[in-house]
Amino acid sequence: MDVTHEVAFASVGTPGVAESPMLPTEMHGDPDEASNYWSQQNFQDCGLMAVATVVGLSTGKAPTEQEIVAVASNLKSPGSDRPIYTPPNPNDPNSDNGTDSDDQVLLLKHYGVNATATDDDLAAQTGLATGIPALITYLDSGRRLIAGVNSETIWAEDGSHTDDDHSVVVSGVDPEAGIVYLSDSGSEDGDGEQVPIDVFEKAWAPGAHDLIVAG
């Protein structure tokens, strides 16, 4: 996941619901709790902002965007000599860069939050499943979740729908209503954003169900 998407200024609707008869039928997670730590991003730093929300959920205090940008600017990206994030600089085409799952895991650990990245290919190695049923299991056990998704699909926008280009916190799943609840820093309406399960699945699939499990 290399997330670089700009901020969106339109909310996603909930046109219909997805039937999920094999899943439990009550709310899993607590979207209202996540709302306490949501902020809209000002840069292409959705990965940092997702980390900030998870830090808030895990410790009771979320870093501000300015604070987490400063930290990420001084931490080396795993396996690289570059920082996790370089603030916007008109003279540097590589600035305001996206972050991948390894960057986000390192940043979470900097704040004292244990986390592991997994996906369809890594699940056997990490021992951490991914997919909708796994989200429910993690939420029921109090884990905090960051998913790598396709932003155009989430926001019902034109453009490429095959890229894993955006990070969101999954704060709840209601299988009976067919809704996934997100804390999405990329949308002005991203606080408690509601996405039909089938739409979320389409957005999540391009990145092989990329998932960070924290806590």
Q: What is the pLDDT along the chain (215 residues), one digit of tens a residue?
A: 555 544 453 333 433 433 444 555 589 999 999 999 999 999 999 999 999 999 999 999 999 999 999 999 999 999 999 999 999 999 999 999 999 999 999 999 999 999 999 999 999 999 999 999 999 999 999 999 999 999 999 999 999 999 999 999 999 999 999 999 999 999 999 999 999 999 999 999 999 999 999 99
Residue 131 domain flag: yes
In this predicted structure, what is the pLDDT of residue 22? Answer: 53
Domain of residue 65, CATH code: 3.90.70.10
Nearest to 197 by CA among 15, 70, 37, 51: 15
Say how many Å lie between the first and final Cα of the chain, rounded: 21
Which tokens in the block code for residue 19?
């039937």
Q: Give how many domains the chain has, as a whole number.
A: 1
Strand partners, 3: 99
Residue 148 domain flag: yes
Residue 51 domain flag: yes
Domain limits for position 59: 28-214
Residue 12 domain flag: no
Residue 7 domain flag: no
Residue 97 domain flag: yes
Host H or E run for residue 66: helix 65-72
In this predicted structure, what is the pLDDT of residue 26? Answer: 87
Residue 54 domain flag: yes
What does pTM read for this prediction? 0.89
In this predicted structure, what is the pLDDT of residue 23? Answer: 53
In this predicted structure, what is the pLDDT of residue 10? Answer: 38
Residue 158 domain flag: yes
